[in-house]
Amino acid sequence: MIMQNKRLIGILLTVGLLLLIPLAAMQFTGEVNWSLTDFIVAGALLLGTGLLCELVMRKVKKTGYRVAFIIAILGALLLIWIELAVGIFGSPVAGN
């Protein structure tokens, strides 16, 4: 139980630290202009990805399947992030 809590704390700290990068960049340059909504969406995406990866690590026993599932999860995160940033698919939620 203690190990599971350490993993969850690690995921939460990682998400928080990753969100500090654009926050710090906003202080030094006008090129990064995130709103509160951007931080909420990014945090939800990162936290959801971390928790899904944790679920796969706990439930899937075979290493090959673990790797495949985690690659799929990270690929989905990457596609969603890119779509929200620049709109490669031209959806209504595109960033441009």
**17 falls within a domain:** yes
User: Alpha-carbon distance 22 to 32, whole Å?
Assistant: 7
Structural domain span for residue 64: 2-86
Q: What pLDDT does residue 95 have?
A: 64
60: left (phi over 0), alpha (psi -120 to 50) or beta: beta
What is the predicted pLDDT for the residue at 89? Answer: 73
> Does 16 fall in a domain?
yes
Read off the pLDDT of residues 29-74 as tens digits, 9 standing for 90 and up: 999 899 999 999 999 999 999 999 999 999 999 999 999 999 999 9
Per-residue pLDDT at 75: 97
Residue 66 tokens, joined: 């673990």
- What is the count of structural domains for the chain? 1
From 10-14, 20-24, 30-34, 47-51, the region with the lowest mean pLDDT: 30-34
